[in-house]
Amino acid sequence: MRIALGVTYRGTQYAGWQSQPQGRTVQDHLEAALARIAGEPVRTICAGRTDAGVHGLNQVVHFDTGVQREPFSWVRGPNTYLPPDISVQWCRPVPDSFHARNAALGRRYAYIVLESPVRPALEAGSVGWVFRPLDGEAMRDAAALLIGEHDFSAFRSSECQAKSPVKTLREIAISRHGAYWRFEFEASAFLHHMVRNLMGCLIAVGAGTRTPQWLAEVLAARDRRLAAPTFSPDGLYFLGPRYDAGFGLPEQVASLAWLPGDR
């Protein structure tokens, strides 16, 4: 049978999602915990691979197993063996047609930025940081120029393995909550480092070092060298994928309400 899980994790201590030989990834820890419950090796496929330092709030994975367990056992069991900063949130049996990555209709990320003259302490690793005041209207004007289907080569990592740089960016919502800014992105899919590279450019516009129109010029040029440096991974959260409602998978988990400006 095929099982889908929702997983929340703090990415600070891990070398990203995807399994690596040294075993310091979220996938390695999750699969090891699942194997202890299943009594056999378990291989997971995720909705969206996250980089080192990036957090996941409702990462969705699926795996196949012949082992019969109650859904709550696939939640509480692995959580017994997982580190405290990784937690399975929910479990649903799904049809064989479900695929955590290929069935996703869209993906959502949020980036949280602290605007403060001094660096964060309590929030270190959980937020990005800017010491210059940001202009929200300028950033929204710039963001509006990115919406739609475009070639996002200018915001693509040199290590990106995506077959095409053309993606549909459906929404960028920017809001302020006290000293914190929330940037929320939704797209059909994202290129490697795409959100962090967009963030670097939006922050440059917000800080007044670039104009909103500059971002349209960078997009049209399709040249990564013209864009701003890649922004820190610290404040980046994978909010989760969107699927056809027929699969009945939760889009909300408790940790989503922990972020400033939860919608």
Helices 136-144 and 194-206: angle between axes, nearest 10 degrees: 130
262 is catalytic: no
Q: Which residue has the tokens 């509480």?
A: 76
Sign of the Cα pseudo-torsion (149, 97, 250, 12, in order)? negative
- Across 9-23, b (16+ Cβ under 10 Å) vs e yields bbbeebbbbebeeee
Helices 194-206 and 212-221: angle between axes, nearest 10 degrees: 150
CB distance 130 to 115 below 8 Å: yes
Residue 124 neighbours by CB distance under 10 Å: 12
Catalytic residue among 28, 51, 135, 262: 51
Amino acid in the structure at residue 16: G
Three-state SS at 166 = strand
Q: In angstroms, rounded to a whole number, what is the distance separating the alpha carbons of residues 104 and 39?
A: 29
Catalytic residue positions, numbered: 51
